[in-house]
Amino acid sequence: MDWSLKWDIFIDKVSYNNWNNNFVKMLGNGLLITVKIAVLGLIIGILIGTLIAAVKVAPKYKLSVRILDKICAVYTAFFRGTPIMVQLLLAYYVFLPMIGVRGIDPEAVGVIIFGLNSGAYVSEIMRGGIKSVDVGQMEAGRSLGLSYGTTMIKIVIPQAIKNILPTLGNEFITLIKETSVLSFITVVDLYQALRNIATANQVYEFVIPYIILGVVYIILVLLITLLVRGIEKLFARSDRSATNSKRKKTRKAKVQL
């Protein structure tokens, strides 16, 4: 492959007729949509996932809880059992027309499906997180007269979230990358933006745009990794290791003196 030729074609293309502004704009918009849908999807996913996890771990004395539990099981089975692409297609081309809704913004459909899909995964992650919290924490809360729900919200779930942060980071990364299937419902995400760039001005040159696509994804994921590390540190203030690390620093400082 002649790399210099590929670069020449690409640079010619983006600089032709002052088109480079357009190139930056397309790339930026695609990036923005990818991040937006992944972030909103994750937020919805965490909310739904936490609710479902709370139902899944709740004691099953009451009929209402048992019914909710079954509904949650069906929900999880559907959203984990089918590819997200199929869910997008079904929602946008089958479900919405079927109930007579037309002209809805495909981005909104994307956010909702990503949220629902992520909710199914987060519910299992969160369930594991809740189970990892010592049962004594719930007992202590209940023994003080707090209700199951209050103890869950104030005591158990904050500790569960701390435990599952690395896994949630993983989920975020998966979402970012999965946004590339949004092009199936006409959303111009990062992938579609680079495709559009590749085919713009009747010059069909894919090599450089696809390399850019890969590089942008990697940078995004690395940034998320850093972000998750930062959040983990924030949550770790109640850990013993957090106080220890401070101490190590002061020791080092003394040695330097």
Of 188-207, which residues contact another protein (CB under 8 A)? none
> Please, what is the minimum distance in Å from the beta carbon of residue 162 to another protein?
7
Q: Please state the closest distance from residue 50 (CB atom) to another protein, in A.
A: 15
Picking from 45, 71, 53, the residue whose alpha carbon sits closest to that of residue 152 is 53
Cα dist from 208 to 14, 60, 136, 137, 199, whole Å: 12, 56, 57, 55, 12
Of residues 148 and 206, the one with the C-beta less far from another protein: 148
Q: How far apart are CA 52 and CA 65, in angstroms?
A: 11
Reduced to 3 states (helix: H, G, I; strand: E, B; else coil), residue 82 is coil
Residue 86 or residue 140: which is nearer to another protein going by CB? 140
Asked if 180 and 191 count as a contact pair (C-beta separation under 8 A), the reply is yes
Q: Quick one: which of 179, 163, 68, 81 has its CA closest to 125?
A: 163
Residue 91 DSSP symbol: I
Binding mask 46-85 for another protein (x = CB under 8 A): ----------------------------------------
Contact indicator for 116, 51 with CB cutoff of 8 Å: no
Task: Please state, in angstroms and rounded to a whole number, the distance separating the CA atoms of residues 173 and 214.
Answer: 14
Nearer to another protein, 143 or 199 (CB): 143
Please work out the total of residues on this chain that contact another protein, with binding judged by CB under 8 A: 23
Q: Minimum CB separation from another protein for residue 136, in Å? A: 4
Q: In the complex, what is the shortest distance from the CB of residue 171 to another protein, in angstroms, rounded to a whole number?
A: 22
* Sign of the dihedral through C-alpha 98, 103, 108, 110: positive
27/168 with CB nearer another protein: 168
Q: Which is nearer to another protein, 130 or 200 (CB)?
A: 130
Among the candidate windows 16-24, 113-121, 180-188, 231-239, which touches another protein by CB under 8 A? 231-239
Q: Are 191 and 110 in contact (CB under 8 A)?
A: no
Q: Is 243 in the site for another protein (CB under 8 A)?
A: yes
Cβ distance to another protein smaller for residue 240 or 252: 240
Residues 108-167 that bind another protein (CB under 8 A): 134, 136-137, 139-147, 150, 154-155, 158-159, 162
Taking the alpha carbons of 69, 71, 77, 83 in that order, is the dihedral positive or negative?
negative
The window from 20-28, 48-56, 122-130, 237-245 that contacts another protein (CB under 8 A) reads 237-245
Q: Name residue, tokens 């099953």.
A: 60
The pair of three-digit structure tokens given for residue 62, joined into one six-digit string: 């009451």
Residue closer to another protein by CB (options 163, 170) is 163
The residues binding another protein (CB under 8 A) are: 134, 136-137, 139-147, 150, 154-155, 158-159, 162, 237-240, 243
